[in-house]
Amino acid sequence: MTSRLERLVFFGTPDFALPTLQALVGAGRAPLLVVTQPDRPAGRGQQVRAGVVTRWAREEGLEVWQPAKVRDPDAIARLAALAPDLAVVAAFGQIFPPALLALPRHGCVNVHASLLPRHRGAAPVQAALLAGDEETGVTIMRMDEGLDTGPMLLQARTRLGGHETAGELLLRLAHLGAALLLEAVAGLEAGILVERPQPQVGVTHAPRLQKEQGRIDWTQPAERLYRQLRAFTPWPGATADLAGTSVKLLWAEPLAEQTAAAPGTVLGLRGEALVVACGGGSALAIHRLQRPGRRPLAAAEFVRGERHLDQRSA
C-alpha cells in the first residue's frame, strides 16, 4: 500500500476537462491548484471570457492559475514549490517540458479521448468520427516527452453509432474519462496498476483542427460528407456552396438512392429534406442549415426563401 495522493495539481482548459475536475472535487480530491489556459477572445464580439474550467473552479473556491507557458522557469518554480504527488491533465493545450513531467512524485497522468495508440494528438474525437471508427474510448496514460506516447494505465471502450456529433461524443467521453481517472488515482495509491507500453502497430495521428477542414466538397461521397459534418460539429462547422448560396450544414445524412446527376446538383426536396448529388453517384439529404449571420432553418423553410433552388449545380 502506498501513501495517499493528497497533493494534486490539475491541468485542463476546454469543456472536456471540466467533468474530470468535478469528479476529483466530488471524490474529496480537490487539487491544490487548477492550471488552465489564459482567457482569450471568443464569440462574434471577440470579448475576452473566462473558460468553463476557470469559472467553475473559482465558484468552488479553488485557486486558479493561467500561465502563458508552463515551460517557463518561473512556472516550473511555482509548481515545484507545491511538491505535488500527482499532476492530472485533461486537454490542457500546452506541451509539458521534461522538468515538469518529472516534478510530481507519481508523475503526470493524462485523460486522452481515444483508444491509444490510435488517434494521438489534439483532435482524437473528430478523427474517430471522420474515420468511421466503430468504437472509441478513453485512455489514462502516464505522460512522457512524446505526443501521447506514454505508457497506458487504464482504458475504457464505447461503441460508436447513431448520429453523434463531435460535441456530443466529447461530452460522453469526458464523463467516461472522469470516472476512469478516479479509478486510476485509486489504483496508483494502492500500487496495483500495471503500466503497459503502447503497441507499435496501429498508431494514427489526429492533429489540431483547422477551420478550412469544414469546407464541403460535393465531389466526395455522401457518406464521407456525413462523417465530416458530424466530426466538425460544433467547430469548425461544415460549410458549403449551395447553388451560389453560402451555408452551414447543421444536419444531413446520406441517402440510399443513387443519382446520375453531377456532384453539387441540387435535386430538390424529398419530403422535408433538401437533396444534393455527391461523388460516386451518392446523394446527401440536408435537414437543417444556416446562412451566415442568420438563424438556423429547416430545409423546407430554407428552400421557400431561395426560389432559385431547383435542379442546378452548387
| Residue ranges of the chain whose pLDDT lies below 50 | 1, 313
| DSSP secondary structure letter of residue 265 | B
How much is the pLDDT for 314?
55
**Among candidate residues 300, 304, 295, 296, the one with its CA nearest the CA of residue 285:** 300
Which amino acid makes up residue 121?
Answer: G
Instruction: State pTM to two decimals.
Output: 0.93
Specify whether the CB–CB gap between 11 and 26 falls below 8 A. Answer: no
Q: Which residue has the cell 493545450?
A: 93
How much is the pLDDT for 24?
98
Cell of 206: 489526429
How much is the pLDDT for 2?
56
How much is the pLDDT for 244?
86
How much is the pLDDT for 142?
98
Sorted by sequence, the CB contacts under 8 Å of residue 93 that are 6+ apart come out as 13, 14, 37, 122
Tens-digit pLDDT profile for residues 57-79: 999 999 999 999 999 999 999 99
How much is the pLDDT for 50?
87
Question: Percent helix, strand, coil in the chain (nearest 5)?
Answer: 25, 25, 45
How much is the pLDDT for 43?
61
How much is the pLDDT for 290?
96
- The separation between the first and the last C-alpha atoms of the chain, rounded to the nearest angstrom, is 66
How much is the pLDDT for 306?
73
How much is the pLDDT for 45?
64
**Among candidate residues 170, 71, 68, the one with its CA nearest the CA of residue 128:** 170
> Rounded CA gap, 130 and 180, in Å?
25
CA dihedral (197, 203, 206, 207) positive or negative: positive
Residue 263, helix vs strand vs coil: coil
> Rounded CA gap, 209 and 226, in Å?
17
List helix spans (H) across the chain.
Answer: 18-26, 52-59, 73-81, 98-101, 124-131, 166-190, 222-231, 299-304
